[in-house]
Amino acid sequence: MKTDNYSEKNREAWNEAASVHKKNRKVDYSVLFKNKDYSMLDTTLSSLLKKISLSGRTVAQLCCNNGRELLSIVNTTGATGVGFDISDEFIAEASVIAKSANLDCRFVRTNIYDLNTEYDNTFDLILFTAGALTWFHDLGRLFELVGRMLRPEGYLVVYEIHPFTNLLALKEEPAYEAKNPYKIVYRYFRNDPWVSDTGADYIGKTTYKSKTFTSFAHKLSDIITAIGSNKITIKEFTEYPHDVSASLESLEKDKIVPLSYTILGQKSKK
């Protein structure tokens, strides 16, 4: 399979992270999803998805991790799901959960950039959630793919970490100042990637010597332009003061800066 060099290294790092997540997770989704009312989606995403009739529709999530969000949608709406992720281990876990709960959802291990025309005009909704877009260096290429995969009048939903947060240091970083958590440490107009070997344990919030993760900072204008350039009209764009990164919860109470955002887009008829 053709992959970018950084993507293959990220695949190895996420495979490593999967066992760390499983060890530190306090819930068993294979059990929880046997309850047909179960959903782990928060009220923001749930409310946005309720604006779209999903019963009998086909939903895709790109960068689905262990499938918990996509499985929540399938479990509560009657939709059919297809999840895509680069990690072998997370895809395997997602498949086990879906089978255990008898949910109409399948999972595909792939580098998203490698998806071919097999999925063109297939989905009524494509979903990205917290931390997904940072793994793509070329948003134009990504949303060109999304535009192809959506059916005419299909929907795009993005529920993401706000790019403003890229300016701030996290608690585990040397530049972090507890007395001034809003201190601007990094450039918003950043061209070089983020490279990390301290793990990706947002479940247990631990650090560990990990394989190398490479991710990318995107300006809000880059995201909006990439979406709008691919036959997708942005219907709603909303910014929020709550954190979806599991890293900046301490800033939520102040409601000073944007920590997350949602985009609801729709593909044109033709």
Give the model confidence (pLDDT) of 39-85 as tens digits.
999 999 999 999 999 999 999 999 999 999 999 999 999 999 999 99
* pLDDT exceeds cutoff 50 at 1: no
Structure confidence by residue, pLDDT tens digits, 227-251: 999 999 999 999 999 999 989 999 9
* pLDDT exceeds cutoff 60 at 2: no
The H or E element that residue 97 is part of is helix 88-101
Average model confidence (pLDDT) for the chain?
95
Using alpha carbons, list the distances in angstroms from residue 39 to 73, 137, 157, 174, 183: 7, 31, 17, 37, 36
Tokens of residue 157, six digits: 């939903």
* Domain architecture of the chain: domains with CATH: 5-267 (3.40.50.150)
For residue 111, which of 250, 6, 216 has the smallest C-alpha distance?
6
* pLDDT exceeds cutoff 50 at 164: yes
Q: Is the dihedral of CA 52, 56, 57, 60 positive or negative?
A: positive
User: Counting runs of H as helices and runs of E as strands, what totals does the chain give?
Assistant: 7, 9
* pLDDT exceeds cutoff 90 at 207: no
Instruction: Note the pLDDT of residue 4.
Output: 61
User: Among 47-51, 112-116, 153-157, 169-173, which is the least confidently predicted range?
Assistant: 169-173
Instruction: Note the pLDDT of residue 205.
Output: 86
The H or E element that residue 85 is part of is strand 80-85
Tokens of residue 204, six digits: 């247990």
Using alpha carbons, list the distances in angstroms from residue 166 to 114, 130, 215, 243: 27, 13, 12, 13
One-letter amino acid of 128: F
Using a pLDDT cut of 70, give the percent of the chain over it.
Answer: 99
Instruction: Note the pLDDT of residue 134.
Output: 98
What are 194's strand-pairing partners?
215
Report how far residue 38's alpha carbon sits from residue 55's, in angstroms, rounded to the nearest whole number: 16
Report how far residue 208's alpha carbon sits from residue 192's, in angstroms, rounded to the nearest whole number: 24
Structure confidence by residue, pLDDT tens digits, 18-31: 999 988 999 999 99
